[in-house]
Amino acid sequence: MAMEKDNNAGGTLDGLPILLTGLQPTAGIHLGNYLGALQNWVAMQRDHRCLFFISDMHAITVPGSGGGQLRKTTMDCAAFYLACGIDPEKSCIFIQSQVFGHAELAWVLGCLASVGQLERMTQFKDKSGHSGGFIGAGLLYYPILMAADILLYNAKRVPVGEDQRQHLELARDLAEKFNGTYGAFFNVPEAFVGNVCARVMSLQNPLVKMSKSDENTMGALFLMDSNDKIQKKIRTSVTDSEGSIRISAEKPGISNLLHIFSGISGDSVSALEERYAGVGYGQFKADIADAIIEKITPIRERFFHLRREENFLANVLEKGRIHAQGCALSLLDKVYDLVGFQRRFTEE
Ligand code: ATP
Ligand code: LTN
């Protein structure tokens, strides 16, 4: 993971596209996060220069998520990255709040965004609607911080699920606005919305996405769930009474299970439809649960092992922090220069 901090023009580094993405450490990692994000990130390490970070600064926009719990879930998240196959020898892994520059660049970008633009964000509307009366300014500012995360490393590709696409659009917009205002500087990042699992749906309500914040805990399947719990969640997942296993808009529950099965097994949805023609839902669900358990068990074991290896984890994150900080400061200096801020005379 030898990245030269000044060598990232045009969103590439050493001839490879720079890829950046992150997860919020708000709770456990669920199957949507794994199939829609982590599993794909692992494969992307082959042909990208990757930065994977833990967006703890975003996490505090959710009321009650800070403090000791955040400290713990941040380390859980780091351990999950490694357990799922992110390789610290190939990729830079770091914690957002440990790198100076994210909040600073967010300030500069925020001065180019309109409040109306932020108020129109779907996630802001959803989350502020469920906020119980208090709408934190951080919730409104969240997409600007996300734009700063991306632009601070001049990332070219940003893998995100469907739910984050609108935020990516804002990041693109702000890159263009900055370039138009202060001179061409930022690469305009591209969203990288993956495969059929870009939107894994709730097991209890297949019309909404599987989410950590779902009040119905049977709707989300967490990588930390016991095998019994996995079997139970899949067995009780909502389907229909038609009895055929095929993709259809009228069969959101079965369609979701087929997508999950395909994401876990690597088999195409049509191959699965063929294999399960005439098979009952009970058997289908039992096979999915088995496939999930087979895939998740080694990840869970690696996770627990890594969580006990505190020094190893801390060293990986420190190495990532040092690298990310070098890139971030170098880029921020150039941004400050273009904006017209006075130069610092000391090297950090
Ligand atoms: P929350 O419930 O708080 O909104 P979340 O479960 O959506 O959280 P995030 O941390 O916001 O999780 O998302 C992490 C990554 O996982 C993002 O790239 C996101 O797009 C992806 N992701 C989240 N939920 C799903 C899902 N149901 N299907 C596919 N990808 C998902
Ligand atoms: N908002 C994202 C997490 C996130 C992110 C980013 C993803 C924060 N900053 C930059 C990609 C690039 C989420 O909730 N999934």
DSSP letters of 3-16?
--TT--GGGEETTE
Q: How far apart are CA 159 and CA 41, in angstroms?
A: 8
> Which atom of ligand 1 lies nearest, measured to the CA of 162?
20
Q: What is the pLDDT of residue 348?
A: 55
| Cβ of 164 less than 6 Å from ligand 2 | yes
Q: What is the pLDDT of residue 7?
A: 43
| Cβ of 55 less than 6 Å from ligand 2 | yes
- Give CA separation, 290 vs 94, 229, 265, 286, in Å: 33, 12, 11, 6
**Domain match, 102 and 117 both:** yes
Residue 241: CATH number of its domain: 1.10.240.10
Q: Give me the residues of the chain with pLDDT under 70, please.
A: 1-10, 131, 194-198, 345-348
**Catalytic pick among 5, 177, 212, 232:** 212
Residue 77: CATH number of its domain: 3.40.50.620
Q: Whose CA is nearest to atom 14 of ligand 1?
A: 23
**Catalytic pick among 5, 72, 90, 127:** 127
Q: How far apart are CA 129 and CA 152, in angstroms?
A: 31
Q: What is the pLDDT of residue 213?
A: 73
Q: What is the pLDDT of residue 9?
A: 58
Task: Assess contact for 178 and 171: CB atoms under 8 A.
Answer: no
Q: How far apart are CA 259 and CA 219, in angstroms?
A: 15
Q: Is 319 a catalytic residue?
A: no
Per the domain annotation, does 348 fall within a domain? no
**Domain match, 282 and 333 both:** no
Which bound ligand lies closest to the C-alpha atom of 39?
A: 1
Q: What is the pLDDT of residue 162?
A: 79
The total number of structural domains that make up the chain: 2
Identify the domain containing residue 110 by its residue range. 12-197+309-339
**Catalytic pick among 209, 233, 251, 295:** 209
Q: Note the pLDDT tens digit of each residue in 75-126.
A: 999 999 999 999 999 999 999 999 999 999 999 999 999 999 999 999 999 8
Which bound ligand lies closest to the C-alpha atom of 211?
A: 1
Per the domain annotation, does 347 fall within a domain? no
Q: How far apart are CA 243 and CA 11, in angstroms?
A: 49
**Domain match, 134 and 282 both:** no
Which of 131, 163, 197 should be mutated for ligand 1, with most atoms under 8 A from CB? 163
CA 19 to chain CA centroid, Å, is 12
Q: Is 229 a catalytic residue?
A: no
Q: Is 177 a catalytic residue?
A: no
Element (H, E) at 52: strand 49-54
